[in-house]
Amino acid sequence: MKLCLCALSAWLAYCQAYIVVPPTYTHSHLSSNRSKSRNVHPQRNISRLHNPTTSLLASTTDFGSDFGSAMPEKPELSLEEKMNQSADDFIINMESVLGDTEPPPELQALKVARERNASVEEITLRVYELMIERGMRYDENPDGGLTPTDFDIPNNLDVPEVQEEFAHLYRYGMMLMNRGLLTADQVKHTVIERLIKRTGLTPQEFDEWLGY
């Protein structure tokens, strides 16, 4: 399988200013599509819900500006600190939305990695694996909770949302590789085992399906 980096420059530029691990509350196109097929409204992106604290500060702009200028600047977090914080947030969110649903093994793997204070590379890999499994294994309920899915991926490859979800996860792995957080072999293995095999396609067919 070739790890193409074409057509990613705009997307990578957008990600450049942000932390490289997935947002804690990632909206899955695949789970959304599954919900629509059951006539259920997809869950809103929790990270965009109304925040009364933010609204209050926004309504007192002058005071907030003056007060903020008097406060010392927060120290810049290192890459390792950012990764660890995002991993911790991801763990908390997954445990919350899973509820009584059986968690994927990848969640425990990420927790163990954090307990061992694993390297940035290992934390990145475990987060990427969990990000994939969240999108592939579960449906998102109207209340935001996750339940195991019975969605037939190989027989729904012509559904645009399915292709979009796979393309996003594929590009994300290549972005991590491009930024030196994962090796080409790590990304290739993860993509083959966790994405390509779920489609029933060969690596070459998978690339062609995504337009590479």
Domain locations in the chain?
26-39+46-209
Phi, psi of 186 (to 5 degrees): -65, -45
pLDDT at 132 over 80: yes
Q: Which of 103, 80, 101, 79 is nearest to 91 (CA)?
A: 103
Of 37 and 160, more confident: 160
Angle between helices 120-137 and 184-191 (to 10 degrees): 20
Contact 130, 104 (CB under 8 A): yes
pLDDT reported for residue 67: 52
Question: Can you give the pTM of this predicted structure?
Answer: 0.72
Cα(147)–Cα(156) distance, rounded to whole angstroms?
Answer: 20
pLDDT reported for residue 56: 31
Query: Which two three-digit tokens encode residue 126?
Result: 């475990």
Query: Which two three-digit tokens encode residue 206?
Result: 């998978």
